[in-house]
Amino acid sequence: MIKASGLKLRFCTNETQATRGKFVEKLQRLGFNISVNEVTAPAPAACRVLRERNLRPHLLVHDDLVPEFDQLDKANPNCVVIGDAADNFSYKNLNEAFRVLIGLENPILISLGRGRYYKETDGLKLDVGVYMKALEYACDIQAEVVGKPAKMFFQSALAEMEVEPQQAIMIGDDIVNDVGGAQQCGMRALQVRTGKYRPCDEQHPEVKADGYVNNLAEAVDIIVKQLHK
Amino acid sequence: MIKASGLKLRFCTNETQATRGKFVEKLQRLGFNISVNEVTAPAPAACRVLRERNLRPHLLVHDDLVPEFDQLDKANPNCVVIGDAADNFSYKNLNEAFRVLIGLENPILISLGRGRYYKETDGLKLDVGVYMKALEYACDIQAEVVGKPAKMFFQSALAEMEVEPQQAIMIGDDIVNDVGGAQQCGMRALQVRTGKYRPCDEQHPEVKADGYVNNLAEAVDIIVKQLHK
């Protein structure tokens, strides 16, 4: 419906456990009409940064994400890229990433998000942000975060659409990562009352959504109606 | 020689990969005349804290340290104790510790140190402080640190000897954890120019040792001479 209205559309995800290809397949199975080049995700955003700065990454990521970095030179690494590596977050692998960083004159840690934890069917799981903090403390450095809520992440989504922030609207369920991040970048942002949404988000001390909708369909209705006014 | 002079002696270690028993055996093999009750270590210090506050720990520690907690009730845990768990720092174990904490109304994390890393024959290894920071961030809490440089750790060593801080002198190789910690507790502190010592420690921005010695034997000589003046 968004697409039929001639509006440009972009899916912004912090998914770092799989390639965009896998992510799109999942959404297609759920009935979304979506292709890989409509997805903004941390791994390709990181690849752009790495290429621009001639960085060769040591990867501490999920096995299924590795193909996103296929095109990059990874020999003799001069930075570490950390994603939601799940079971790859072993003591051995964390030590290896640490040794790469501590061996660099100017240690660069690029993190594909700053999330604390997420829920899976078998319970809560620690997210990439937790291991980012671990390596930050170990090396006394600050990671560069690629992914929501980083301003740069939303900016690259806008750039890909060739749209100005004030012309765009973000719809998401996460008050800080979605709404806060988009607003910092100059976009308006709606929070959907589904998924991660909790009623207390509407009294969040730092972030105030530009509006609330009960679900994604309602958001689309409102936007399309505005368009035809 | 210290003992022969009638001086009271206490070995303060941040060792949390083994029981005091194992630690003492190692020092005895190196020629030190030492017994278990002359050792102040984080695990027994933590046990005292746990008993005083009726805390039942979930342990994320090295297998070899577990016997130090034998006497404690560990059913239905209401806190987490984290030590240098080495290979036990798996994603699975860290998730388990996290779930205990996040399930508590008032999450209590007790850390047996705040070290960043240490050196072993096969390279640098991440220390307990790194995983403490990870869980702190995951749960948005502050850990309570037992072990050097915590003031309370040196205070319990003094209490065990029944000695006032101004009557005591600390000899150690770590400018922050040994010298800084002891001084905060009111003790004088000598840094030995061996082990972890690096020349730049003598220009440390925050900690200034009361004196330097080239090795432990020199420190003992100076102390014994002062005594016989």
User: Over the stretch A121-155, which tens digit does the pLDDT of each residue have?
Assistant: 889 999 999 999 999 999 999 999 998 999 889 98
DSSP-derived pairing of the beta strands A117-120 and A123-126: antiparallel
- For residue B117, what is the nearest residue in chain A, using CA coordinates? A138
- What per-residue confidence (pLDDT) applies to B1? 66
- Report ipTM (2 d.p.): 0.85
> Do A95 and B135 count as a contact with CB atoms less than 8 A apart?
no
Cβ-based contacts of A90 with chain B (< 8 Å): 89-91
| Beta-carbon separation of A117 and B94 below 8 A | no
Between the alpha carbon of residue B53 and those of residues B27, B49, B50, B79, B104, the distances in Å are 33, 6, 5, 11, 16
- A89–B94 CB contact, under 8 Å: yes
Q: Which residues of chain A have a CB within 8 Å of the CB of B126?
A: 91, 94-95, 98, 134, 138
Residue-averaged pLDDT of chain A: 93
* Interchain proximity B91–A92, CB inside 8 Å: no
Q: pLDDT under 50 in chain B at which residues?
A: none
Phi, psi (deg, nearest 5) at residue A198 = -130, 145
Cβ distance of B91 and A95 shorter than 8 Å: no
Task: Order the strands of the B188-192 sheet from edge to edge.
Answer: B169-172, B188-192, B211-213
Average pLDDT over residues A85-113: 97
In angstroms, the Cα distances linking A42 to A196, B204, B218 are 20, 40, 57
- Among A87, A124, A140, whose Cβ lies nearest the Cβ of B91? A87
Q: What is the DSSP string of B61-127?
A: S-GGGGGGGTTS--SS-SEEEE---GGG--HHHHHHHHHHHHTSSS--EEES----EEEETTEEEE-
Give the model's confidence band at A1: pLDDT under 50 very low, under 70 low, under 90 confident, else very high.
low
- For residue B225, the model assigns a pLDDT of 87
- Spell out which residues of chain A touch residue B102, defining contact as CB-CB under 8 Å: 117, 124
pTM: 0.85
Q: From chain B, pick out residues whose CB is under 8 angstroms from the CB of A100.
A: none
Region A29-42: what's the mean pLDDT? 91
Cis bond upstream, residue A149 (ω within 30):
yes
- A82 pLDDT exceeds 80? yes
Coil/strand/helix, residue A193? coil
Tell me the pLDDT tens digit for each residue of B81-139: 999 999 999 999 999 999 999 999 999 999 999 999 988 888 999 999 999 999 999 99
**What angle do helix axes B128-139 and A128-139 make, rounded to 10 degrees?**
140
Using only the alpha carbons of chain A, give its radius of gyration.
Answer: 18
Nearest to B124 among A86, A91, A98 (CB): A98
